[in-house]
Chains A and B, each alone.
Chain A
Amino acid sequence: MTQQQLGSFPGGLKLPGHKKRSTQTPIRKMPISKCLILPLQQHIGEAAVPIVEVGEKVLKGQRIARAEGHVSVCLHAPTSGVIKAIADHQVPHPSGLTAPCVMIETDGEDRWIERKPVADFRSLSSHEIRQRVREAGIVGLGGAGFPSFIKLNPGVQHHVETLLINGAECEPYITCDGMIMRERAAGIIEGIEIMMFALQAKECIIAIEDNKPESISAMRFALTANKTMNEITRIVIIPTKYPTGGEKQLIQIVTGKQVPSGGLPIDIGIVCHNPGTAYAVGRAIRYGEPLISRIVTVTGTDVTHAGNFETLFGTPIRELLDFCETKRQPDEPFIMGGPMMGYNLSGDDLPITKTSNCILAGVDDVAIASQPLPCIRCGECAVACPASLLPQQIYWYSRSKEFDKTEEYNLFDCIECGCCDYVCPSKIPLVSYFRFAKTEIMNQERERRKSDIARERHENRLARLERERQEKEERQKQRKAALAASKAAQKKAEHTETASTSQTTAVKEEN
């Protein structure tokens, strides 16, 4: 297919990629850890609810927690073993909090539970595919971890034109998407076909940054092997610029359209998925394998043998880092995700979860913690902003806690890509200010809603009391009126009686 004219987005950065560091070896399998720690919440939404008992033997792929509520997915045992505990454990979250986890002592046998592969996915309904994807515990593997089955539902009001596979991988250092496209292209195409079927999408666009020629040719080659898909799929090569992988920016580049502020891509007929997610969907339907592992990039200046590793969920990050050999001291902090949007963690027992795309130990040109200078209004942040915001204005109002003003300057359209921070000559941590403002506004909103409810309840109560009082009065009045009326009627009756008698007497007298 011919390459269409590409759009572009304002701002963005040309960043050194540092990708070669972790692409020199093929994807390797991480050895099974002795103990796996599986947080019950590895996705956006409600945490899963455990359905196993401590001491129970589980098989590889066996469901150990069920989805709770709509926005939730199941969790499975990544290998065979025994449930050692269901308890709180530190989880990979910037807050450093603990959360309920299922601990499995592995037995090394890696024995699968019986799987139910579906040879022809067309024999399933769209709903059944979503159900299976949900049962398989699949979430977006790009890093956010939103339950994928929801994004495979076109819904009633919407009509999905395009399935957009986001293979941009614009953050420096991360290579897990690039590597899975290189090595498992056919499996990704298989998954895309199923996704397209579930979404009833007309076309598929696979967008890959031009710094990944191996991934592009592998995907092209896999596509030629699938005739039906080849006709409706385009591989779009996009220029390497951060943050092209941002969903909204990618859509703008590939289609020239913009997702309406506060809306979702589906509002303009587009659904975005990550290639790793597509691969997982293919495995889940075609082979009946739930999501129990992912590709994790382990890289950074402190890592001796950087690379990509197919890692079971629950594997302690320490083991992964040890496996790669690092110059890092025990318990030294590392970055989960990329250097632009990841977060730093410390704690060697933290497990790999469904959203752990990259473990980064040591960054070239690392930003040193320093006292920022005042904003000199140079406007570089506004030039770099891919959403065309005015970061220094939002910063100003975030600092002075004038949150309504931050919203006026469209704070909530900020995608927290960090471009403004990167270019700031005063080294102001702008994104942190924006996150602070967002959280404050959401808290206020919650408080307001709570007080609104309380006020409403109070007002309703007053109204009810008033109504009851009025009703009472009304009833009394009615009763009084009725009484008066009956009295009057009685009187009248008496009166008429006397009147009529007097009349008759009068008549009689006349006669």
Chain B
Amino acid sequence: MSIFRLSPPYLAGANHVTLQMMQVVLALVPAIVAMVYFFGYGVLVNITLAVAVALATEVLMLKIRERPLKPFLSDGSAVVTAVLLALAIPPLAPWWLTTVGVVFAIVFAKHLYGGLGYNPFNPAMVGYVLLLLSFPVEMTTWLPVASMSQQPVDLIMAVTYVFTGNLPGALSIDALSGATPLDAMKTQISQLRTPEVIMNQPLFGMFGGKGWEWVNFWFLIGGIYLIYIRVISWHVPVAMIGALFVISSIFQLIAPDLTGTPMFHLFSGATMIGAFFIATDPVSGSTTLKGRLIFGAGVGLLTFVIRVWGGYPDGVAFAVILMNMLVPLIDYYTQPRVYGAR
């Protein structure tokens, strides 16, 4: 018999942090494929760079904090943070943008709070928000979907641009980039166009942004897979998507010209990645089941509020961080009734 644990239970469950993290990455694959299809190889360059920087930073921080490398490097949490942040950054972002975001996420949002398990805020979103506030131009230089661009972004072009900032020939990044559907919707509504008119533009697809609706769809599929294999519970995604749907439906009825349709909100921007991959981060989210419903609903409502009345086209990152702040309060007031409680 091998050396078994000195205290019961002696039976081991299959669940493991590393396994969970790897399953999260696996569930992201379809959406990553979709993003590469629509936005070019820059997505892959971002992910590779972000993961490399994240692991290097993790090693450095573990060394400085005198923590063992093997268990913490292999837990996979740094990889998940890196991939999520890379997916939130424009596909043709300069290398330093990704690096700054990832380093800040790993050093400040994670290790300075005590490392895995102790961060009150979602590290990927902290990194994202830092970039968004500090480098608004670079962070909003998104590409339109490949079919609309005269110059599809191939791998060599992506690598060259990310690391040198040069594009072949006379191309400039401004010629390649364009507003995201959420951005276009927000700007044009402020110019008093109606959502219906805006939705007819080539930037938009069936009910969301062209390409974006498919990316969201594949995040949704990946998320359902995670619920099915019990890596995440259904509470946060259902509450978040439900709340976003309900509030956008209400405003659809009482003020149809205010913003896009409920379906537009569900299948645009970071809705689905937020619902299934970001708001479900266990460390910075609520732990009780009732608390998760409140947490998810809060993220959904705040996302809508920021998208419609805030200064930014999307609000998922801010919504998640704001709700992270409420987690201790939510957890305290949503304790389940214990067996036999009088």
Contact = CB atoms under 8 A, between A and B. Distances in A.
Given A371-B71, A378-B20, A382-B336, A340 B8 contact: yes
B285 interface: yes
Interface string A378-412: 11101100111110110000000000000001100
Contacts of A368: 2-5, 12
B15 A252 contact: no
Given A248-B339, A382-B336, A423-B13, A374 B8 contact: no
A390 B116 contact: no
Nearest to B232: A378
Nearest to B10: A339
B282 A377 contact: yes
Given A340-B8, A377-B117, A390-B336, A422 B282 contact: no
A162 to B, nearest CB: 17
A374 B117 contact: yes
Interface in A314-353: 328, 332-333, 335, 339-344
A339 B12 CA distance: 10
B11 A369 contact: no
Chain A interface helix/strand/loop/mixed: loop
B48 interface: no
Given A365-B12, A377-B282, A252 B339 contact: yes
Q: Which of B5, B14, B75, B337 has the most chain A CB atoms closer than 10 A to its own CB? A: B5
A69 B292 CA distance: 52
A224 B336 CA distance: 44
B135 to A, nearest CB: 30
A217 to B, nearest CB: 29
A369 B75 contact: no
A206 B9 CA distance: 27
A425 interface: yes
Interface string A162-179: 000000000010000000
B2 A425 contact: no
A380 B292 CA distance: 13
A373 B71 contact: yes
Interface stretch (A122-130, A259-267, A271-279): A259-267
Interface in A123-167: none
B1 interface: yes
Interface residues of A, number: 65
A263 B342 CA distance: 10
Interface string A408-452: 011001000010011111110101100100000000000000000
A367 interface: yes
B288 interface: yes
A344 B6 contact: yes
Given A366-B1, A366-B12, A413-B339, A373 B7 contact: no
Contact of B75 (A333, A361, A373, A424): A373
B335 interface: yes
B115 interface: yes
Interface of A: 9, 13, 15, 172, 248, 252, 258-263, 301-302, 328, 332-333, 335, 339-344, 361-363, 365-369, 371, 373-380, 382-383, 386-390, 392-393, 409-410, 413, 418, 421-427, 429, 431-432, 435
Given A328-B1, A369-B3, 19 more contacts: A9-B339, A261-B342, A340-B8, A344-B10, A367-B10, A368-B2, A368-B4, A368-B12, A369-B4, A373-B116, A373-B117, A376-B117, A376-B283, A379-B288, A380-B15, A388-B336, A425-B20, A429-B7, A431-B7
A-B pairs, top 10 by smallest CB distance, nearest first, are A374-B117, A418-B9, A367-B12, A261-B340, A378-B282, A387-B339, A379-B287, A422-B13, A340-B9, A339-B11
